[in-house]
């Protein structure tokens, strides 16, 4: 069966702009729904009874914000999330998301490698569709640790360090990391061509009109679910 059409980084950024202007959404709303779908994908992969300890690595942009929201939902689902959020900005929304986690006594750590050792799964919410170029500090060590670790990773929107259009960095086998699972938000990005693991689509907030305009497909969400599992490259299952 045909794969879901992909959305490149420029189109994804333009869609976000339009959702938050003429679409009348706030970033808080989009991030809340994106983060909820990340938490639902984690639950579909492994429930808290089996995999309670989740390390959530958050970057400085909206991909990181999705991770902060997902962690709050994971806490309420019964998981024990730990946060690695090394590059916190003064952004007011992020401040509130962090405070909500602190009030739930969700721990924050500066030691990614140490925290990863005790984790059942890692959520990679470091970079999404606005990533480009070489990974800059403080993240190269984190990407290296992900490449060396055997702990399964759920990547949010993109495996961090992969080019959104052209996939894994050309740095040789064993150098880049390969997540066990990916949740694409709104639509898969072109990099799914190089992905081979379990793949979900989430971010259930676009109209059919918007999907037609940006030439992607709304996946077949069932009932009240915020996610759909698709094939590795976005094939409909
Ligand atoms: N419509 C949707 O589906 C929604 C998706 N959401 C999520 O938002 C991200 C995109 O968020 P954005 O804020 O545009 O960008 P990112 O989070 O991907 O990354 C931006 C930050 O990353 C830094 N960056 C970029 N490249 C590098 C690099 N090579 N090394 C280190 N750091 C890098 C960048 O830093 P600057 O220094 O350049 O500022 C940014 O800080 C999308 O993927 C979804 O996950 C929304 O939550 C809701 C709508
Ligand atoms: K990511």
Interface confidence (ipTM) of the complex: 0.98
105-133 pLDDT, tens digit each: 999 999 999 999 999 999 999 999 999 99
Cα 149 to Cα 143: distance, rounded to the nearest angstrom: 10
pTM of the full predicted structure?
0.98
Return the pLDDT at 2. Answer: 86
Q: Is 172 helix (H, G, I), strand (E, B) or coil?
A: coil
CA angle, residues 31, 36, 41, in degrees to nearest 5? 125
- Summarize pLDDT for 184-219 with one digit per residue, the tens: 999 999 999 999 999 999 999 999 999 999 999 999
Residue with the two structure tokens 């909820």: 36
Q: How far does residue 47's CA lie from ligand 2's centre (Å)?
A: 21
Q: What is the pLDDT of residues 90-100, one digit of tens each?
A: 999 999 999 99
Taking alpha carbons only, the member of 137, 84, 89, 138 closest to residue 111 is: 84
Counting residues of the chain whose pLDDT is more than 90, the rounded percentage is 95
Q: Is the CB of 23 under 6 A from ligand 1?
A: no
pLDDT tens-digit readout, 23-76: 999 999 999 999 999 999 999 999 999 999 999 999 999 999 999 999 999 999
Give all domains of the chain, ordered by start, each with its CATH number: 9-230 (3.40.50.10260)
Interatomic CA distance for residues 157 and 192, integer angstroms = 10
Q: Is 135's C-beta closer than 6 angstroms to any atom of ligand 1? A: yes
Q: Which helix (H) or strand (E) holds 222?
A: none
CA-closest candidate to residue 123, choices 171, 85, 172: 85
Both tokens of 62, joined, read: 């909206």
**For residue 173, what pLDDT is reported?**
58
């Amino acid at each position: 069966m045909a794969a879901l059409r992909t959305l490149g980084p420029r189109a994804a950024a333009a869609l976000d702009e339009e959702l938050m202007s003429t679409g009348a959404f706030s970033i808080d709303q989009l991030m809340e729904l994106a983060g909820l779908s990340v938490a639902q994908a984690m639950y579909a992969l492994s429930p808290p009874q089996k995999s309670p300890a989740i390390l959530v690595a958050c970057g400085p942009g909206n991909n990181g914000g999705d991770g902060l929201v997902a962690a709050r939902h994971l806490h309420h689902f019964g998981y024990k999330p730990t946060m690695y959020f090394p590059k916190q900005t003064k952004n007011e929304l992020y401040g509130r998301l962090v405070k909500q986690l602190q009030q739930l006594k969700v721990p924050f750590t500066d030691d990614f490698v140490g925290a990863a050792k005790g984790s059942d799964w890692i959520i990679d919410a470091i970079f999404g569709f606005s990533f480009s170029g070489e990974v800059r500090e403080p993240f190269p060590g984190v990407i290296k640790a992900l490449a060396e670790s055997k702990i399964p990773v759920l990547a949010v929107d993109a495996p961090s360090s992969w080019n959104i259009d052209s996939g894994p960095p050309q740095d040789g086998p064993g150098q880049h990391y390969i997540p066990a699972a990916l949740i694409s938000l709104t639509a898969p990005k072109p990099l799914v061509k190089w992905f081979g693991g379990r793949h979900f689509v989430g971010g259930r907030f676009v109209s059919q009109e918007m999907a037609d305009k940006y030439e992607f497909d709304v996946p077949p969400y069932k009932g009240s679910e915020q996610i759909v599992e698709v094939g590795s490259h976005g094939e409909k299952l």
